[in-house]
Structure 1
Amino acid sequence: MTFEFFDVTVLRRELLSPSAVRIVFGGSSLAAFAGGGRDQRFKLFLPQPHQGAAVVPRGEDWYPRWRAADPATRAVMRTYTVREQRDGEFDVDFAVHDTVSAGPASSWARHARPGDRAVVLGPTLADNGGVDFRPLPDTDWVLLTGDETAVPALAGILSWVGTSMPVRAWIEVHDAADVRDLPRAAGVELTWLVGGGVLDAVRAADLPGGTPYAWVAGESAVVRSVRRHLVAERGVERHRVMFTGYWRRGATEDDLLAESP
């Protein structure tokens, strides 16, 4: 199997910015967790507030069984990115919100402490379907856009690209205090946009010549707008734009799951 369940515990917690918390997970079985780097995603299962451990069905039919379970009892499921992986542990950066608008995962991360338990469904092969950033062989340069939710993936991508090709990147944040140091090799031009405006920034940019590969992530409507601009106005071929809506304004991940077949 390409993906398996792993029982993990919180080892450490670090406040990265007013809107971001890093949780370091560890587990005895994580030697088999083979992240592919870049924007490697996985499923994270968290216990309900009244539980000490996440209730997750195991096996190949886990998803229909999880969906059929009582929402008040089954584990909270969210999709996250591996920020960095080491022997027996890996980092996950959570975007946390104020206590009024915080969802269950954000609230959990805000209060997580060493020893807290969770379950992850992660890859056992480095080349797996949870990695989306895959520039084509003839790529001359890379374009990246995202918001706070995409920062961990963008950091992984920037580390992976290194000096192999030029990068133009734009990241939206709500507050200047959320600007962070990210891997920035020679050839990387990274612009932080406080308060939004990624579409306007890309539209106004003097982009390099040659063949691009674009990775666009963040809020769904913004992602669609940036992709539309690149394809319709910039003439970038559709198959050279990888786009992912990490979230949708006004909807939780539970809402999106409920809409899926």
Structure 2
Amino acid sequence: MAALPVSFIQVTDITRITPRTARVTFDADRIDDSVGRTPDQQVKLCFPRPGQRTPVLPEQNDDATGWYQAFLAIPESERPWMRSFTIRRRRPGTNTLEIDFVLHGDTGPAASWAGSAGPGSRLGMVGPSSLYSAPVSLTESIANSDWLLLAGDETALPAIATLLEALPERSRALAFIEVADAAERQDLGTAADATVNWLYRDGTSAGRSDKLIDAVREAEFLPGRPFAWLAGESGAVRALRRHLVDNRGLDKRSIDFSGYWRFRMTQDDAPTAEDMAEAQERLAAFQASADSRQG
């Protein structure tokens, strides 16, 4: 099994790009040349426990399974909290990365860290790696479809932004993005013929909402066959996927989906039966995609 890229990253700047979103600029100790070259690249960030300046991590080795077992062997009181994030941008020719943090105002380790971090603060970074996040092949997806459907909440906004930026001219896209209010809108660049629909929760923080689900259900789709990319709260993602398959007639292989977070639960809580079923479907979809490329 391939090695997991493991490094430490240090904050050089923090900018509040919206009232509830902080863009954190990091310099990485080391970074692979492939990082930042494709959209929707996910990494695992490791946050220090109270009293730690730098998270405790095992050394990178050539066995991803062995590394993760060594990570789990760290005493729980010292083991870093691990959370998934999307690389928003890499500055060309440097080890500098930008990652957006949604500030929920809760006590979660990521939002809490982002609210108090400053230049010099350090995190651990694991990845990017296809071992836990299959990369989205826009070229392949566009070639096998007529347009791209994007749907997600503010946690999916960094990935949606990178996907829109990567679309070529003459491609078409329809995006639905749910955020707290109009102040959370961001300027999204793209060369594609794209329509972005912003949906507002009337000022409330991220939580259970039907606005995204209802908007996609009621939308007039573009002509032709879409490829759908869905991410955000797990329950909303499952509802959207069921709608696209059952009511819009999409092939499951034409949907990339990911539940980033769970309403009233954290990533440290045990997975539900629905979470396990979703993980199995994502694994099956990843394997089917890999088999088709090899064939």
| TM-score normalized by the length of structure 1 | 0.90
Alignment match, 1:26:
27
Letter matched to residue 44 of structure 2: K
Deviates more, 1:230-239 or 1:41-50: 41-50
- Over 3 Å counting, the alpha-carbon distance change for 1:257 and 1:13 in structure 2 is farther
Verify: 1:165 aligned to 2:171, yes or no. Answer: yes
- 1:140 aligns with 146
Structure 1 range deviating more: 77-86 or 172-181: 172-181
Distance change >3 Å, CA 256–CA 57, structure 1 → 2: farther
| Distance in 2 separating the partners of 1:198 and 1:166 | 20
Within-5 A mapping of 1:185-200? 185-195=191-201, 196=209, 197-200=211-214
Change (3 A) 1:22 1:95: same
Q: Which amino acid aligns with 1:22?
A: R
Query: Paired residue for 1:207?
Result: 221
Larger displacement relative to structure 2 (83-92 or 61-70)? 61-70
Contact 1:12 1:113 in 2 (8 A): yes
| Alignment coverage as a number of residue pairs | 257
User: After superposition, where does 1:1-261 map in structure 2 within 5 Å?
Assistant: 1=2, 3-30=4-31, 32=33, 34-58=35-59, 59=61, 60=63, 61-86=66-91, 87-98=94-105, 101-123=106-128, 130-134=133-137, 135=141, 137-195=143-201, 196=209, 197-256=211-270
The one-letter code of the counterpart of 1:180 is: Q
**CA RMSD, 1 decimal:** 2.3
How far 1:157 moved relative to its partner? 0.4
> In structure 1, how many angstroms separate the alpha carbons of the residues matched to 2:85 and 2:128?
13
Report the alpha carbon displacement of residue 18 of structure 1 after superposing the two structures with TM: 1.6
CA distance in structure 2 between the partners assigned to 1:39 and 1:144 by the alignment: 12
Give per-residue Cα distances to partners, 1:123-175, cap 9 Å, x unaligned: 48xx8863542315221100000001001000010011142510000000122
| Partners of 2:146 and 2:172 within 8 A in 1 | yes
Residue-by-residue CA offset, 1:181-235 (whole Å, 9 max, x unaligned): 1124341000000015111111111111212100000000000111111110000
The gaps in structure 2 that reach 5 residues or longer are 202-208, 280-295
Unaligned runs of 5+ in 1: none
**Would you say the 8 A contact 1:96–1:102 is kept in 2?**
no
Q: Distance in 2 between matches of 1:10 and 1:88?
A: 12
Give the 3-state SS of the residue equivalent to 1:30 in structure 2. coil
Query: Hey, which bits of structure 1, 4+ residues long, moved more than 4 A?
Result: 256-261
Task: Provide the C-alpha distance between the structure 1 equivalents of 2:142 and 2:171, rounded to a whole number of angstroms.
Answer: 12
User: What's the % identity of the aligned pairs?
Assistant: 37
SS of aligned partner of 1:252: coil
Are 2:171 and 2:192, in contact at CA under 8 Å, matched by a contact in 1?
Answer: no
Greater RCO structure (CA 8 Å; 6+ sep) = 1
The equivalent of 2:293 in structure 1 is: none
Matched residue SS, 1:239:
helix
For 1:186 and 1:165, locate their aligned partners in 2 and report how far apart those are by CA, in whole Å.
5
Displacement of 1:256: 4.6
**CA-CA distance at 1:37 after TM superposition:** 2.2
